[in-house]
Every structure is written in C-alpha cells, then in structure tokens.
Amino acid sequence: MNRAGEITRRDLMALGAAAAASPLIAGRAFAAAPDNQALHGLSAFGDLKYAPDFTHFDYVNPDAPKGGLFNQSTLTFNTLNFLVPGGDAPPRMEMCFDSLMKPALDEPDGLYGLLARSVSLSDDRNTFMFELRPEVRWHDGTPLTATDVAFSFLTYKDKGHPTLALALTHMTEAVAEDPLTFRLSFNGRQSARTILTILEYPVVSKAFYQANPFDSSQIKPPLGSGPYRVGRVASGQTIEYERVEDYWGRDLAVNRGQNNFDRIRIEFYRDRQAAFEAFKKGDILYRQEFVSRTWATGYDFPALTAGKVVKREFSGEKRPSMQATAVNQRRERFRDRRVRQAIALCFDFEWTKRSLFYGAYERSNSCFERSDYKAEGPPSAQELALLEPFRAELPPESFGEAVTQPASDGSGRDRKLLSRASKLLGAAGWKRQGSLLANDKGESLTAEYLIDDESFIRVISPWVENMRAIGIDASIRQVDSAQYAARQADFDFDLTAIAVSFTATPTRDEIDELFHSRAAVMSGSRNLPGTADPAVDALIDAVGAADNRQKLTIAMRALDRVLRARMDWIPNWYSANHRAAYWDMFGFKEPKPDFGFPVEQLWWFDEDKAKAIGKG
C-alpha cells in the first residue's frame, strides 16, 4: 500500500444531482455535523472546500480528452493481490476498484462521496450510515451492493494487509441494512479520524472472493468496479490497465477530468539503468528520477536535446514525510540505544550530499519532515504536559532541544564523530577483540544493511566502511524485490530503509502501523524497528484523541521528540520536489494539487504534441 498516488476514485451522476435527491449539507463535517443528517463529504476539523453541487475538483481539466497510452517502469511483480501480506503486487491495482469516498487533493483531509451518495453520523460518532448510489456496477455489469461493502471491511479486519487491518481494530459491525444502505460501527475506542482512513479502502466483490481465495498470491485479475480493469498481463514483465469505457462513475463530480488514458502500462525492469535506457529510447514515456547522479549527469541524450523529452521538477506535497533507516530491535544487539546512536554517527551526510547526491538532498532529522508536526527547539508547555508523565521512562533528550543528527566535517570519515561512536559502543559493553567488537559472550557486533536496488550500494557503502572502521562487522545484502518485500514483512533484517508519506492530517491508524507496539508483532506492518514503548503508545493515543488541529500538532510534535530521542529510526535525507522527465506528449493542469501527484489519474494524452515529436 506504500505506493505513489491515491487508493480511491469514482462515481456516476454529478453531486449536484445527488444533492437534489438527498438533503445533503455542507460545512463543518465532523465536529459540527448535525446528527443523523446526510452529508456529501467529511473533513476532520475544518470546512469542506466543495459544496454539494460542485461539478469537478479545481485542479482538474473537466474537458480533458480521453485516449492514448501512458506507461512507466518499476520493479518486478508476482501477484495481483495487493490487499494481503506476501507477494509483490504491481502499482496502480487500486485504480480497478472504487471506495466509499474519495479525497480532494487540494485540501488536507476532505473526502467526498464516490460509491456512497451520502453518509450520516450518530451523535456519539461511533456509527456511520452510508447510502450507496443505485447506479454502481461491477465490471461484469452486476450491481455492487452494501453486501459487498460489508464483506470488504469484515475480510480486511480478519485477513487484510496490516495497513488495512490496523484501522479496523475497533470496528464492531459492518452490516448491509439493505442493498443500498451500509452501516459501520465502532466501540468508541477508535480515533475520531479513523473513518477518514477506511473510507478510501477499495471495495471488493463478495462473489469473486467466494469463488477465489482472498488471502493467496494470484495472477487472476479480480473483479473490480473502478475506471480501469486489468488487461494484458505478463508476470514479472508487464501489466496493462484498460480504461472501462462504460464505467458507471465516469461523470461524477469527483471523477470529471480524470482517468483519461485509454491504457496505462507498467513495464518491469530488474535495475534502474535498464529502465532509464528504455526511457531514453522512448519505450517508456514517463519517469520519476530517484537517483541524484542520474538526474545531474544522465539527462544529455538526443531526445532531450531535441526538445522531445521534458526534464523538470514539480513541487512536493504539503504532507509530512519520513525517509529513514530502521534498526531492528528484535535483534538483541540493537536494543541498547547507544548502539543505534553509534550506527547513526557513522553516516556522513555532508560528504554524501557533496560527493554522491550532487547537492540534491537535505538532511532529515524528523519522522515528520516538511510539516508543522516536526519538533523544533525545546518542548512547549503543552508538549511537556504530554511528556512529563513518562519522564522516568523516556530518554532525557526528549525534554530538551529536539534531537538533530550532528553535522560532520564532510571528510567522509569524521574522526570526532567516529570516536564518539566508539565510546558509546564501549559504554554499551562492546569491546575490541582484534579488528572487531564483541560482547562478554564473545559475540561479534554484526550489522547487515538490506537493500533491493544496486543504486543504494554507492550510498550505503561509505556508511558501512565507517562502521567497520570502529569495529562493527557491517555489510550490505542486496536481494531481489520479492525477497526484499518478504524479508521486511517477516522482519528478517538488521538495517533497512523506508520512505513514508503521511496524509496531511495524519490519522492514528497510519501512525499506529509505524510506531505502536501492536504493529511490532504484526507481520507485514511497517513498524520495522520493533518499537514497543508504552510512552510512545500513549502519545499515539493523544494523536488519535486530538479534536482540533492545534491539539493534533502538539501531540505529533511530542511524539516526534520521543521517536528522535529513541533512535529507532535513523533519519536519512529528503527532497523538496518531484524530479520527473517525460516525452512531451501529455497535457496537465498547473499548478499541481498540494496534497497528491497521481499523474496517471490527472494527466491526458495530447495528440498534437505527440504528432509534433513523432509519437502520434
């Protein structure tokens, strides 16, 4: 589920028509929403941007033409089932499915009716009633009903990927009251914003999964209801999604101007360089560049020089992000925080930025980088109020200036930082035995960094060499993407990296999966370090309980302080922008929306541009 783009989409009649059929109201959709009245959308704290009679989102071209091909590259896949742990599913499978509601990408947490024409809330905010649109259909023409919706949520709670299951922990009922009415109930212990997470879950067909096992890896295309269906599939090589011409939700306000390409193809390559060569030849049409060296030195091929390829940057989303290395505390040798601190001190970012990144990245320090949730300076009085009950259990650094990673001298081997790392390891009980460190049992301090792409070797190798210089038996293990996914799911690694983009208004559920003790023992979760700390859990509870944005910001900053002090994650680096290149045959509206960048969903094929560069 950790993909670029959204996990939603669609609907049929414009919401103006829906408004005429139901007394939908605008305004403050959560805190001030009248009880048991039908709403056209939901928002965590503030006013919804779009009224019930809106015709399309502002960031789309409602008259965008349909047609053409969009393709890009990624690593391999071995299953079409992206809803369960295990296997490596291709990107964009979510475009084959509808969800109850769909987000607007130009507001931080607004959701609008998609499968659901309206939603009403009980006075205690524990029960949600959804009225489905009578027009909704599966791709085979059969009706999508509340029975399918109930089946989806019950199955996700029981068998779904942890990303799906965690948010449903406190769900008590998922009931089809009748074919078009669905009731969802919670026990009151859920976060107030849990509903915002699960309303974007894909709804799946009960009939299909009664005939096919839900929790297995399979290549058989599932029955969907979204704007695309699975077309040609060559396992491990190519998957093609075909636009559904008679898609039931094509003309809905939440869908107008979107899902414009007739075909979306994902081509799979074993390494980035082969994919780049295919892009230069025009076999691949769009590419996001994640290798700074390639971005700085590789874009000098004939098609770009001739103006057929555009190379540019798009602004990043206004959402918190984290790119960090997880230190797996399920391994006993990493449970001492001093060991994790020492490993972090061996990473010379200043040298890496200059020598390998061509200045393209900045150093991360926060788990919520690029956001108001990033802790700065000493804690405020409100943050201290959350932290003080746990003073005895928390690292002292939680109560001072927010922890930042020390700047090196940029030499690649800063002697002061490495000396400091050696002292920390000595204090943790690791002593020199020959060239390596060992504990009192004679066990060496080993640290293997798990990667799945050769491009990381040049970045991680200097870090590994610095670890070896102070006696850590460090190494790099490169595996293919399927093994990488499996080993992360089973927590079978010492060190590994992750990149996470949170929603603009983070819910407890997405925070849970990364940092809560529940997720530490849940196979397939993203709590890769195995964080299991009652103080962290309590701060996550405070995040979930926040009933306004100010309280949410305070709780998130307090949590950030503790996570940074614990050093479960070693922050790495971040980029402020998307680096993208594409053959100049597409149209899109500018500026891009602030809270998402689903290119396949928003762009369109421009026939005149394509002809001008010989691609028509």
**Residue 272 pLDDT more than 60?**
yes
pLDDT by residue (tens digit) across 408-426?
Answer: 999 999 999 999 999 999 9
Give the model's pLDDT for residue 19: 27
Tokens for 551, please give them.
Answer: 């309280």
> Do 532 and 368 form a contact (C-beta atoms < 8 A)?
no
The Cα 502–Cα 318 span in angstroms is 10
pLDDT by residue (tens digit) across 9-21?
Answer: 222 222 222 222 2
Least confident of 3-12, 40-49, 220-229: 3-12
**Residue 6 pLDDT more than 70?**
no
What is the share, in percent, of the chain residues with pLDDT greater than 90?
Answer: 78
E strand or H helix at 314: strand 309-315
Give the model's pLDDT for residue 48: 93
545 CB-near residues (< 8 Å, 6+ apart): 191, 192, 551, 555
pLDDT by residue (tens digit) across 449-503?
Answer: 999 988 899 999 999 999 999 999 999 999 988 899 899 999 999 999 999 999 9
Phi, psi of 111 (to 5 degrees): -120, 140
Q: Considering only CA atoms, which of 42, 38, 29 is closest in space to residue 110?
A: 42
**What are the E-state strand segments in 316-403?**
321-327, 362-363
Q: Considering only CA atoms, which of 204, 556, 253 is closest in space to residue 386?
A: 556
Average pLDDT over residues 207-223: 86
Give the model's pLDDT for residue 374: 97
Give the model's pLDDT for residue 616: 78
Average pLDDT over residues 351-355: 95
**Residue 263 pLDDT more than 50?**
yes
Alpha helices in 133-222 (DSSP H): 146-159, 162-165, 194-198, 206-211
Alpha helices in 282-331 (DSSP H): 292-297, 302-305
Average pLDDT over residues 564-582: 95
**Residue 356 pLDDT more than 50?**
yes
Give the model's pLDDT for residue 253: 98
pLDDT band at residue 87 using 50, 70 and 90 as cut-offs: low
Contacts 24+ apart (CB under 8 A), 146-150: 146/176, 146/177, 146/178, 146/179, 146/180, 146/181, 146/182, 147/176, 147/179, 147/206, 148/203, 148/204, 148/205, 148/206, 149/100, 149/115, 149/174, 149/176, 149/182, 149/203, 150/174, 150/175, 150/176, 150/182
From the number of C-beta atoms within 10 Å of its C-beta (0-12, 13-18, 19+), residue 166 rates as buried
Give the model's pLDDT for residue 25: 35
- What is the DSSP annotation of 413-461? S-HHHHHHHHHHHHHTT-EEETTEEE-TT--B-EEEEEES-GGGHHHHH
**Residue 584 pLDDT more than 80?**
yes
Which of the pair, 143 or 47, is modelled with greater confidence? 143
Give the model's pLDDT for residue 376: 96
**Residue 75 pLDDT more than 80?**
no
Give the model's pLDDT for residue 89: 75
Which of 3.90.78.10, 3.40.50.300, 3.40.190.10, 3.30.1280.10 would CATH assign to domain 228-317+576-612? 3.40.190.10
The dihedral through the CA atoms of 600, 511, 387, 399 has a sign that is negative
The Cα 326–Cα 340 span in angstroms is 10
Give the model's pLDDT for residue 478: 96
pLDDT by residue (tens digit) across 298-326?
Answer: 999 999 999 999 999 999 999 999 999 99
Residue 189 CB neighbours (<10 A): 11
Give the model's pLDDT for residue 454: 85
The Cα 332–Cα 464 span in angstroms is 20
With respect to CATH, is domain 321-574 assigned 3.40.640.10?
no
Give the model's pLDDT for residue 166: 87
> Do 347 and 569 form a contact (C-beta atoms < 8 A)?
no
The Cα 326–Cα 496 span in angstroms is 5
pLDDT band at residue 86 using 50, 70 and 90 as cut-offs: low
**Residue 219 pLDDT more than 90?**
no
Domain boundaries, the chain: 228-317+576-612, 321-574
Residue with tokens 């490169």: 478
DSSP label of 64: P
Phi, psi of 561 (to 5 degrees): -60, -45
Average pLDDT over residues 499-522: 92
pTM of this prediction?
A: 0.83
